[in-house]
A and B are shown apart, each in its own frame.
Chain A
């Protein structure tokens, strides 16, 4: 059930399309870009990239954050205009002036950031801007029917007439995908589509991609999950620092090799060696707290696994008082405590680094220094702020966490995901916590930065921090955690330690199937 092995999934994909790989024999260049250059005020995001995408191919684009993947896709999708360069569709030059024009050429994009109207239904979102009408009136039934048809293909658990606001993040991602599929695009750009999907949901997405491909659709697929890219793509292009590095056949490519090409140096063992399992009394203990029983010691890294929607984030938010707790007890150093809001949590030394960096974790329009000191601003003055102290403390974090952002007075918005994540962590380390909850700490973070993040978490633990790591990437949990607690449908359903921890064991608990 866990198709992490590239070979297994490739066979599935091929079987599904009836030998989908053969479609490429046509060799009709579908979309070509020549010498694309994109310059931003501070950086040259793309430095003369030329690529050709063939009809009916699934083309993976990989690279570290800041390599230019998203910029290239935004140019193809008409969201951004390149500084220079040309594009050809079926050998005739095209210029893209906007999303609408790109759509007219049959190029549709699924954005990393969700662009949905929460207050409308799924069907209304899918047909937004191209509603089916009769004499100026909406024909609801047709739109709902067609949407439901697509939703069934992606195995969505919701229906076309549900309100988008009520869907989980994963659900919203599926709506975005349905939206792009519904326009019957000939080129479909997917930017990190599986980042928020659970494994079964991702599997249905891969099936859908195989179907689209059999249909002759070109799929450009960006992902940080290299195994996944190797499994579902035909060819893979590696970008580094805005330049093309290589394009390889996915057959025979392996994640380690790709990772090496992306960073330009060999990666040592991906997960740093684990520290010894610490002994002692728990720093944080939950007793029936929101349906969870768990404990974490000083110096311990506890994994919190489960499918998307299992209630891990909700539990973490309840611990720090960001949402009301439903019963149970919370003990800090063995003493029961009441946490009504984030301030109480902070006083008890609990910090929570949210999975939603852009929405909850950081102030994107404020600068690095302001973000780093935001949660601990009282330390820099009760009335008048000591701005010198603020910036020197930000500098300390810069060297301590190796935050790579040239100008600390620039907006956090313009900084890469990995460094944003470090800033979010610095912001909470500022409050000198003893218990640190990290929610999806490596989401949207590139390979090199991921490893750094693992090292950082282990270092913090070695220094005595009690860490809880929430992650949807199982290898990550298995790679860095001492123990793993698995949640399903809002409750803790099991705990695995030491040798019991394996992808299979975790998935059995997470999905609620009896172990084989």
Chain B
């Protein structure tokens, strides 16, 4: 019984450690290169940021299928605003900052919309955000005229590939190795969300609403406001994630950016041990889920496995995670 609990409680973490060891043993130095380890954290940082917002929504008993399309929409907003501000004579860095703020706002408004319909329109979250999945993608396509929007602000990519120099580490040409801003954002968002969930009144309400909305209502908690808030926070984080994507790619293909992000984000949340029924979950689990999924796709490349297998492997990981979670419920 004890061992089963350990497995279900820390299963994802154990799997991550296990795969890490497998990589160290089979790939040794290549894997342990600082650049490679850094990439593991930053590669899917945008999905990570979104997955953390998704964790809050799922703990509150909701779901959001629209985040992928919302990413494309916000990404389009980032580039259009950056171009516009820069063309208007604003300094490049200021233009990028304003674009980032615009993206976060656009995401927050989209999330607010989702939240309003879910909380006050009393429509099932699945349906509302399925509408968003179609709708936000459409807005993105309209903004990008059906295609790619390129950034005319060269320093956007400087941000995408900028970061904090990792001390004592030099790359092949003797330059510093940077810990990307995207990873910094991911870590800060995770720490912030963990604090909000576990230490604040709002966080407690999120858990209470997800665990038993009616009991929460009887405790004089404004459950509609809580629902509205988690969708809005997720929207804002999608805006942030979109900023990271746009900065890295320097352009946004409005038809392709953010595709399947909703699935990746939900998968990371589930793998991390957050219950899809709401009321129970953890931010660090989602971080582990994101890292695990990144490591797996990293391995598929490193071992020269046909990337077409990637989807199947992910699917299996998700199923195993859910099966172990079910085991936990039975052990309770």
B215 contacts A359, C-beta separation under 8 Å:
yes
- Closest A residue by C-beta to B203: A385
- Chain A positions 374 through 388: 1 when the CB is less than 8 Å from some CB of chain B, otherwise 0: 110110111111010
Residue among B1, B202, B211, B220 making CB contact with A366, cutoff 8 Å: B211
Partner of A346, one of B204, B212, B215, B220: B220
Main SS of chain B's interface residues? helix
| Option from A342, A362, A377, A381 in Cβ contact (under 8 Å) with B217 | A342
- Cα(A380)–Cα(B199), bound, Å: 11
User: Do B199 and A385 touch (CB < 8 A)?
Assistant: yes
Q: Does A458 contact B (CB under 8 A)?
A: no
B220 touches A343 (CB 8 A): yes
| Minimal Cβ-Cβ distance residue in B for A373 | B204
Q: Does B214 make an interface contact (CB < 8 A)?
A: yes
Q: Which of A322, A363, A383 contacts B216 (CB 8 A)?
A: A363
CA of A354 to CA of B214 in the docked complex: distance in angstroms? 11
- State whether the Cβ of A360 lies closer than 8 Å to any Cβ in chain B: yes
Q: Give the shortest distance, in Å, between A357 (CB) and chain B (any CB).
A: 9
Interface size of B in residues (CB-CB distance below 8 Å): 23
**Which B residues form the contact surface with A (CB < 8 A)?**
1, 199-202, 204-205, 207-208, 211-212, 214-222, 279-280, 332
A341 within 8 A of B: yes
- Flag if B201 contacts A363 (CB, 8 Å): no
- Bound CA–CA A413/B280 (angstroms): 14
**Which of A322, A342, A352, A385 meets B204, CB within 8 Å?**
A385
Not counting A363-B208, A378-B201, a sample of 11 additional A-B residue pairs whose C-beta atoms are within 8 angstroms of each other reads: A341-B220, A362-B212, A370-B207, A375-B219, A375-B220, A377-B204, A381-B201, A383-B202, A384-B201, A385-B204, A387-B199
Are B201 and A385 interface neighbours, CB within 8 A? yes
> Is A247 located at the chain interface by the 8 A CB criterion?
no
In the bound complex, CA of A345 to CA of B16 (Å) = 50
> Can you report 22 residue pairs joining A to B where beta carbons are below 8 Å apart?
A342-B219, A342-B220, A343-B220, A352-B218, A359-B212, A360-B214, A361-B218, A363-B212, A365-B211, A365-B212, A365-B279, A366-B207, A374-B204, A374-B219, A378-B201, A380-B201, A382-B201, A383-B200, A383-B201, A383-B202, A385-B199, A411-B332
CB within 8 Å of B: which A384-410 residues:
384-385, 387
**B217 cross-chain contacts in A, Cβ below 8 A:** 322, 342
B279 — which chain A residues lie within 8 A by C-beta? 363, 365-366
* Complex Cα gap A434–B199 (Å): 30
Instruction: Tell whether A427 is near chain B: CB-to-CB under 8 Å.
Output: yes
CA of A360 to CA of B219 in the docked complex: distance in angstroms? 9
Q: Which residues of A lie under 8 Å from residue B215 when comparing CB positions?
A: 359-363
| A89 beta carbon closer than 8 Å to chain B | no
Q: Is the CB of A360 within 8 A of B199?
A: no
Contact surface of A with B, Cβ cutoff 8 Å = 41, 322, 341-343, 345-346, 352, 354, 359-366, 370, 374-375, 377-378, 380-385, 387, 411, 413, 427
CA distance A381 to B199 in the complex (A): 10
Q: How far is the CA of A41 from the CA of B332 in the complex (A)?
A: 9
Chain B residue with the shortest CB-CB distance to A341? B220
User: Which residue of the partner chain A has the closest CB to B220?
Assistant: A342
Expressed in whole angstroms, the minimum distance between the Cβ of B316 and any Cβ of chain A is: 28
Q: How far, in whole Å, are A376 and B58 apart by their CA atoms in the complex?
A: 25
Chain B residue, CB-CB nearest to A317: B218
Q: Which residues of chain B are within 8 angstroms of A413 by Cβ–Cβ distance?
A: 332
For residue A362, which residues in chain B have a CB less than 8 angstroms away from its CB? Answer: 212, 215
Contact between chains at A384 and B200 (CB < 8 Å): yes
Q: Tell me, in angstroms, the Cα distance from A387 to B218 when the chains sit together.
A: 22
Q: Which residues of B contact A374 (CB under 8 A)?
A: 204, 208, 216, 219, 221
Known: A363-B211, A363-B212, A387-B199. A370 touches B204 (CB 8 A): yes
Q: How far is the CA of A378 from the CA of B201 in the complex (A)?
A: 7
Please give, as numbers and ranges, the residues of chain B lying within 8 Å of A383 by CB-CB distance.
200-202
Chain B residues with CB under 8 A of A382: 201
Determine if A354 and B201 form an interchain contact, defined as CB atoms under 8 angstroms apart: no
B205 / chain A contacts, CB cutoff of 8 Å: 377
Contact across chains for B200 and A360 when beta carbons are under 8 A apart: no
Closest beta carbon of chain A to B199's beta carbon, Å: 6
